[in-house]
A and B are shown apart, each in its own frame.
Chain A
Amino acid sequence: MLDVMSTFEDLQQSTLTELTRRECLRHLRSTRVGRIVFSDQDGPAALPVNYRMDGDSILFRVSPTSDLCLRLDRSRVAFEVDRLDDFHLTGWSVLVRGTASYAEADDLPEHRADRPLPWARGPRHTYVRVTPDRITGRQLIDEEGSVRT
């Protein structure tokens, strides 16, 4: 019985395809929360942040006294956004690899509305910019070639 079920589940599996850079940027521009990935002495770590795109780079805010902040000064990082649906088993994900650095006031979007606004209470005065050098993405599509999320 279990063998029959696992065969059935295999038939339900979705197909993984690559996204173009343009498609990746479209997803990055239409998403509000992503995960910043950095490494320290204990290995890699990922934390969610809400962010805005500024051209092709990612901008978010952190507290200047946080551990996260200390890890983002001219360091190699990754940034990830995704949307996956466990009912349809379809979705997409985008991975940005690049360098994080602190953004100065004169290096921010002119209009305040274009800057990231932290969700959490507390002073998050430090702007961090992730400048990408590689943007890649994948999507899981069903047998009709659709992504349902």
Chain B
Amino acid sequence: MKETWYPSHLRTLSTAECLELLATASVGRVAYCTDDSPVVLPVNFVLSGESILFRTSPHSVLAQHLRHGRASFQVDDYDDYTQSGWSVLVRGEADFLEYDELPPPEGRPEPWAEGTRTFHVRIRAREITGRRLIPA
């Protein structure tokens, strides 16, 4: 197989396009730094303005590390067959929301996994970037 067979085109997405794609997704990956290495975990989330909202347990490693601020959030969708897809990366700061800061109930994230996930985490975007891979 030749390496130059049907390579796809990579195109940069605008912030508006990135937000549109974020609004269509229900699962993304939150990344944070530890002393040892960066770590990433999937969570289900909702988009609230330009912020990402999700829930975690107060005892989770996620809750412990996100206290320190910097975090990012990544969402993508791919098709293996046509080798195309898109990805969006939100870089910013994480914080915990107080009850009175939460959006109305229909706009709140509902965790898929069982357990007491009472912490609402917000990642406020400082930078939103995205790329789309268009089939040749």
Contact = CB atoms under 8 A, between A and B. Distances in A.
A35 B1 contact: no
Interface in B11-50: 26-27, 29, 31-33, 36-42, 44
Nearest to B83: A119
Interface residues of B, number: 45
Interface string A6-31: 10011001111000000000000000
A45 B31 contact: yes
A76 B37 contact: yes
Interface string B51-73: 00000000000000000011110
B42 A93 contact: yes
Contacts of A89: 112
A13 B114 contact: yes
- The B contact surface, by secondary structure, is strand
A97 B37 CA distance: 7
Given A48-B87, A140-B113, A84 B27 contact: yes
Nearest to B68: A43
Contact of B39 (A2, A78, A119, A120): A78
A2 B70 contact: no
Interface string B64-106: 0000011110101010100111010101000000000000010
Q: How large, as a class, is the contact surface on chain A?
A: 35 or more
A16 B36 contact: no
B127 to A, nearest CB: 8
B62 to A, nearest CB: 12
Contacts of B85: 33, 48
B111 A13 contact: yes
B71 A43 contact: yes
Contacts of B33: 39, 43-44
Interface string B100-136: 0000010000111111000000000011000001001
B9 A121 contact: yes
Contact of B91 (A32, A42, A77, A120): A42
Which of B71, B85, B105, B110 lies at the interface centre, i.e. has the most chain A CB atoms within 10 A of its CB?
Answer: B110
A37 interface: yes
Contact of A9 (B37, B74, B87, B110): B110
Q: 8 tightest CB-CB pairs across the interface, nearest first?
A: A43-B70, A121-B7, A76-B37, A44-B31, A46-B74, A119-B83, A13-B114, A89-B112
10 contacts: A10-B114, A35-B74, A37-B31, A44-B33, A44-B38, A44-B40, A48-B87, A84-B44, A112-B1, A121-B7
